Amino acid sequence: MTGPGAACGRWSLSLWLLAALAVAQAEVPRLRAELPSTGLRFGSAFELEVERTPAAVAAGAFDERLLQPLVVELLASRARGDGGEQRRYRARCFRTGAVALFDLAFEVKTSLPEPAGELEWPGPLRPLPAERHWLLWAIAGGALALGGLWWRRRAAAPIAAATQPPAPAADFAAALAALPLPGAADPTAFHERLKALLRAHCAQCGARSTVAATSEQLRASLGDPPPLRQALQIADGVLFAALRPADEVHEAARAAAIAFVRATAVAAVEVTP
């Protein structure tokens, strides 16, 4: 393609490339730093001066991300007579090793001691005088006595619980009969209480892990009697499937629970330790 249009396009492309190069050059500041003679330590502060050219100032505000990996805090900024800018920072570097940043290069050393050194005790270790050995024996004897007392009380607790006669089935049946039907209210509390009473009664009937067992495991441990199955299925439908049946269904669950309790009544038996 030739002609005035092609020449104009080439000139436009050349001007765009020159402008981009000028902007790129404008974003390269000059850096000066006052570093300690012993070397820069990890995280230690030092002063950093940034000199910006007039072209860089005209291009826009200074982007402090150009100074990464340094963490900087601006202390002062002033305009120069030629249109440039001088900025002064308090800088820290949280990376060890060689760091090269524009025309500035330095080494960051670790702040840990080299070598780490030997383990130091707070003071010399001295043996306990012989006349104070009785104190050690007294402390050891007291600890053994307290441990034995705790173990005895802990071992005696299950025996004391076993001597308590089980609650009569009539108590559970009465508690179930006293449960008010939920009516238009949320039936969750009604069925939570119904299941709690059934689990307590099942524990006296020989069911294992009545607290942690699922309804299916609880029923299976007792032979899956129909009244217990009906009561728990209705309760689980309300508690886990968010069912909201009529009061007749709640009444059926309560009646089934009472029938199961009365059919599996356990006589109170005293346990002799």
Q: Give per-residue pLDDT as tens, 47-66.
A: 989 998 888 888 888 888 88
Q: Residue 160 phi/psi, 5° resolution?
A: -65, -40
What's the average model confidence in pLDDT over 101-116? 77
Query: What are 133's two structure tokens?
Result: 């050995």
Question: Which DSSP category does 66 fall into?
Answer: G
* 3 state SS for 94-155: CCCEEEEECCEEEEEECCCCCCCCCCCCCCCCCCCCHHHHHHHHHHHHHHHHHHHHHHHHHH
Cα–Cα–Cα angle for 210, 212, 213, nearest 5°?
Answer: 65
Distance of alpha carbon 197 from its chain centroid, rounded?
36
Q: Cα dihedral sign for 83, 84, 86, 91?
A: positive
pLDDT grade, residue 116 (50/70/90)?
Answer: low
pLDDT reported for residue 247: 87
List pLDDT tens digits, range 217-236. 888 888 888 999 999 999 99
For the cut 50, the answer to whether the pLDDT of residue 270 exceeds it is no
Q: Is 191 exposed, middle or buried (0-12, 13-18, 19+ CB in 10 A)?
A: buried
14-28, 31-45, 225-239, range with greatest mean pLDDT: 225-239
Strand order of the β-sheet with 70-79 is 30-34, 45-52, 85-93, 70-79
Confidence of residue 269 (pLDDT cuts 50, 70, 90): very low
Computed over every residue of the chain, the mean pLDDT equals 77
For residues 92 and 44, give the distance between their C-alpha atoms in angstroms, rounded to a whole number. 6
Helix (H) or strand (E) holding 47: strand 45-52
Instruction: Give residue 120's pLDDT.
Output: 55
Residue ranges per structural domain of the chain: 26-109, 169-263
- Total Cβ atoms within 10 A of residue 74: 12
